[in-house]
Structure 1
Amino acid sequence: MKTNNSIEETLMVTVDPSTIEELQVDDTKRGLGFALLALSAAGLIVSLQQTVVIPLLPQLATQLHTNVAGVTWLFTGALLAGAVATPLLSRFGDMYGKKRMILLCMCTLIAGSIICAFANSLGTYIAGRSLQGISAAMIPLAIGLIRDLFPRERLTTAIGVVSGTIGVGGTVGMLITGLIANETTNPHPVFWLTAGLGVAATALIATTIKDVGVRHGGKPDYAGAILLATLLVCLLLAISEGPQWGWTSRSVVGLFGAATVLCVIWILVELKVSQPLVRLPLLVGAKSLSANLASAFLGFAMFGFISLMSNFVQTPHEKFGYGLSGSVLAVGLYGVPTAVLMTFFSFQAGRIVARIGAAYTLAIGAAFAGSASLWLAAFNTHGYDMVISNILQGTGFGIGYAALGTLAVQHVSMGESGIASGINALVRTAGGSIAGALTASILSAYTIAGTDFPTLHGYIISFTILGVGALIAAAIAVGHGLKYRGE
């Protein structure tokens, strides 16, 4: 009878050590593959919840007895919550573990979805949507976790895949909403679906991902978070309600003034505390500033485009002389090219980045994204105009968002990757929040006489502004690439 030692000796003789090493490599690759699948699924659902309500806004405005500016807060409120939660939870991720914070994000998504599934008033919907919006912090946390988990040669592709889920999930969300709305006028099933998908993604993350990376101590900057939330609320409320209250009214002027004062106080607080919510060098530092500005303008263009497209498609042409007379389902179907192309380019962007760099890749994507909005500003009378625009959008955001995820973290240390990605996501989400408030303000200012319904001119102005915003992002990215060539 052989002893344990003799068995081990026999195995060492009969099994090639290189075979054992190959098996270990395969096992590691398989584990990373499951981790990327879990993070991509979560990213898809997080981005899905951001836009799932957009096709329902016209219907909800009627059901909740509110106007365009009021119902837009169902979209803007979620973005605002995400803008505030992102740097805070990114900081928590560096302190307590990124996986733990990702799971927390998914739990808030589930809770917010359940609240919306029972909601019957605007205030309740906004509360639920705000909870859902907190989950936006999951994307930068996932990018930070990828830097902890993946080898350097696979980083760009992995970050590109997760970043690409932002637009894909947004388009899929509108398609799912359309399919449900085609069967019922009750919006609640949409939120039950997001809750169920959230539970599935949470289980997948809990069972497939290891929480690795260096932990950092410290205290959370709650004062910074409260100040940031308050100043953003003041700013967005002033922008969205300006046409209704009057731009020179005491309320609007007071809100703008309060936002300015709070911004100054927030900066002073962030400079004073030892561990600020937003490290200003990572926000406005030499290499960070251009990446963050490009992110803000690209988020402005993307979220603004998605919200406008939904309303424009559903505008009855026979009644108002413009629009595509589409259903909620049509909104999702028009977005299919966007989802397909964003999926394709999120996988290809890594190769483009490796060849020409993240900055120039971002510039190409942003240029395509800008052309999508400008196309609709010039050509908007036929369904194929919307298809062409969505093809341009899918190409642009698929390339641009994947490159942006890399640009945001490539100049920082591994220990700062979570907060750097979080700050970049904060300004992107803030840009989207401003786009939602600004376009709602423009559409409220240009209405058909005797109605609250926007004119075509209001849409043209809005699409033009969004297109210019994306082109500004492209110019900033080119400038970044030229300035830091070879670094």
Structure 2
Amino acid sequence: MNPPQPSSRSGGIVAVLALAGTVAAIMQTLVTPLIAELPQILHTSSSNAAWVITVTLLVGGVCVPVSGRLGDLVGKRRMMLICVVPLVAGSAVCALSTSVVPMIVGRGLQGMGMGMIPLGIALLRDVVPAEKLSGSIALVSASMGIGGAIGLPIAAAVAQYADWQELFWGSAVLALVIGVLIFVVVPDVPAAARGQRFDVLGAIGLAIGLVALLLAISKGADWGWASGTTLGLFAVAVIALLVWGFWELRTRDPLIDLRTTARPRVLITNAASILVGVGMYSFMLIAPQLLQFPKATGFGLGQSMLAAGLWIAPGGIMMMLISPLGGMLINSRGPKLTLLSGALVIAVGYALALPLMGTAAGIMVAGIVINSGVALAYGAMPALIMSSVPLSETAAANGFNSLMRSLGTTIGSAVIGVVLAHMTIDLGGHTIASKDGFRTGLLIGCGVALISAAVAAFIPSPRAAGGEEAAERPAAGADQAPARG
């Protein structure tokens, strides 16, 4: 099969794909302003209401790699359009919900649409000229963080000044607009793996393993890390993923080619992705709480949800501005150095946060630095992946890398949650996280970022990784200076 030819209107295509990624990411933060009110809105307990957030994580974790593989089989544009359907439907179901079960169903449907982000990144390899590819990858990849950062103040403003249902009706309209733009602007290109079969058993096995693992990590603090339920889920995850791996290595057309993911360049990039995910999400958990905690604590800044979101938003805007610079750095020095640099910038941001956490402006500055590092790292990771896999596995490999990032955010949430739950003070009869707890969380974020930089340093250059990778693919533009790594 001849490789697809880049489009002459690539600028508009990149803009649409970046907007699609931003909208999909906004869906994840959509309910954040409603967390405290969900039990009343849905007439349920706090523990039941928490599933409104957890279900999106679980469904997204399963659907992202599946959507990626289907994109390789039936076409990435087609799969992006299919992903729009559950985003619109899920938003409408949530808007009409008056109890917890339909809300959970709606949020699960929204999770099904999360595969849109890695599909968009993979599609760039087909439709963008080589000289523009690195910058385009950086921008679309960073849309995950951009959507999360700017989605919070937007959602908070809507929740504060309008009915909560408007959040979901608005998201339904956004998703519908994205679907129209993808249909009109994004070209249809031949599926790189057309003719291969979809690995149904592999998808089922991966789903069982991932749901058990993500559920154990995300709910372990609530259920108890040593509880029978948590340990049982970890055991199911280990067994299911081992059986899944055994199957994937022996089936003709695997859901995820583990031999490809085992290549050092891909394997180490995915390991670094998990750590970068931990580093990114740690700040996203800590900063809003520091901003919103009452001043009576002695360290809280007493900001409203809307004000806190506005202090955090410049970090998301900075990601948008840094992404093109990240693309230039990838072209000039290679994605490995860009990933390493991004991890180090994240570490610097956490180091700045420690002395600056006493003011809202200080937290904003730290967030700008951290998100700048995230933009560099998020742009470099898919560039590394796509320069190391065959064209027929681009979407699946990107989906798996996105899953690794999501696994990192889940681990980060669990670790920081445990720290803040165990390092507490008493305020007016209420137990809340202490200043030392937040400092410890920031130190963890800094340490993890440094570890991710150390891991990235071991990523082999294309030349060291072996010549078979370059032979399997057309130039992706991500490693135009291979000697520099």
TM-score by length of 2: 0.86
In structure 1, the residue matched to 2:339 is: 362
CA distance in 1, matches of 2:287, 2:81: 32
In structure 2, the residue matched to 1:22 is: none
CA distance in 1, matches of 2:436, 2:202: 40
In structure 2, the residue matched to 1:189 is: 166
2:305 is matched with which residue: 328, 341, 361? Answer: 328
Residue deviations 1:83-136 (CA, integer Å, cap 9, x gap): 211111111111111111001112111112112212344443333222212222
Q: In the alignment, is the contact (CA less than 8 A) between 1:405 and 1:421 conserved in 2?
A: yes
CA distance in 2, matches of 1:265, 1:378: 48
| Superposition map of 1:26-425 within 5 A | 29=8, 31-60=9-38, 66-67=45-46, 73-184=51-162, 186-213=163-190, 214-318=192-296, 320-377=297-354, 379-425=356-402
1:427 aligns with 2:407: no
- Return the letter of the residue paired with 1:269: W
The 1:80/1:405 distance shift into structure 2, 3 A limit, reads: same
1:474 aligns with 2:461: no
Q: In the alignment, is the contact (CA less than 8 A) between 1:372 and 1:390 conserved in 2?
A: yes
Residue deviations 1:289-337 (CA, integer Å, cap 9, x gap): 011111121122223432333333222232x443221112112211222
CA distance in 1, matches of 2:267, 2:66: 19
Secondary structure in 2 aligned to 1:58?
coil
The 1:373/1:325 distance shift into structure 2, 3 A limit, reads: same
- Unmatched 5+ residue regions in structure 1? 1-24
- Return the letter of the residue paired with 1:290: I
Residue deviations 1:368-401 (CA, integer Å, cap 9, x gap): 2233344445542221221121111221112221
Secondary structure in 2 aligned to 1:182?
helix
CA distance in 2, matches of 1:75, 1:283: 30
Deviation at 1:62, TM superposition (A): 6.3
CA distance in 1, matches of 2:65, 2:432: 37
Of 262-271 and 49-58, more deviation after overlay is shown by 49-58
Q: In the alignment, is the contact (CA less than 8 A) between 2:264 and 2:460 conserved in 1?
A: no
Identical positions, percent: 33
CA distance in 1, matches of 2:139, 2:219: 38
Of 238-247 and 220-229, more deviation after overlay is shown by 238-247
Q: In the alignment, is the contact (CA less than 8 A) between 1:178 and 1:327 conserved in 2?
A: no
- Return the letter of the residue paired with 1:386: I
The 1:296/1:435 distance shift into structure 2, 3 A limit, reads: same
Q: In the alignment, is the contact (CA less than 8 A) between 1:72 and 1:437 conserved in 2?
A: no
The 1:134/1:466 distance shift into structure 2, 3 A limit, reads: farther
In structure 2, the residue matched to 1:17 is: none
The 1:182/1:353 distance shift into structure 2, 3 A limit, reads: same
The 1:257/1:193 distance shift into structure 2, 3 A limit, reads: same
CA distance in 2, matches of 1:153, 1:250: 54
In structure 2, the residue matched to 1:454 is: 433
- Unmatched 5+ residue regions in structure 2? 466-481
Of 100-109 and 443-452, more deviation after overlay is shown by 443-452
Secondary structure in 1 aligned to 2:36?
helix
1:437 is matched with which residue: 406, 409, 414? Answer: 414
Of 138-147 and 196-205, more deviation after overlay is shown by 138-147
The 1:73/1:410 distance shift into structure 2, 3 A limit, reads: farther
Of 343-352 and 150-159, more deviation after overlay is shown by 150-159
- Return the letter of the residue paired with 2:370: Q
Secondary structure in 2 aligned to 1:386?
helix
Q: In the alignment, is the contact (CA less than 8 A) between 1:349 and 1:402 conserved in 2?
A: yes
In structure 1, the residue matched to 2:442 is: 463
- Return the letter of the residue paired with 1:138: M
TM-score by length of 1: 0.86
The 1:280/1:159 distance shift into structure 2, 3 A limit, reads: same
In structure 2, the residue matched to 1:19 is: none
Deviation at 1:343, TM superposition (A): 0.9
Q: In the alignment, is the contact (CA less than 8 A) between 2:71 and 2:77 conserved in 1?
A: yes
CA distance in 2, matches of 1:79, 1:53: 13
How many residues get paired? 458
Choose 1 or 2 for highest CA Rg: 1
In structure 2, the residue matched to 1:13 is: none
Query: What value does the CA root-mean-square deviation take over the aligned residues?
Result: 2.6
Deviation at 1:285, TM superposition (A): 1.9
Secondary structure in 1 aligned to 2:267?
helix
Q: In the alignment, is the contact (CA less than 8 A) between 2:33 and 2:159 conserved in 1?
A: no
CA distance in 2, matches of 1:231, 1:474: 29
Deviation at 1:219, TM superposition (A): 2.6
- Return the letter of the residue paired with 1:476: V
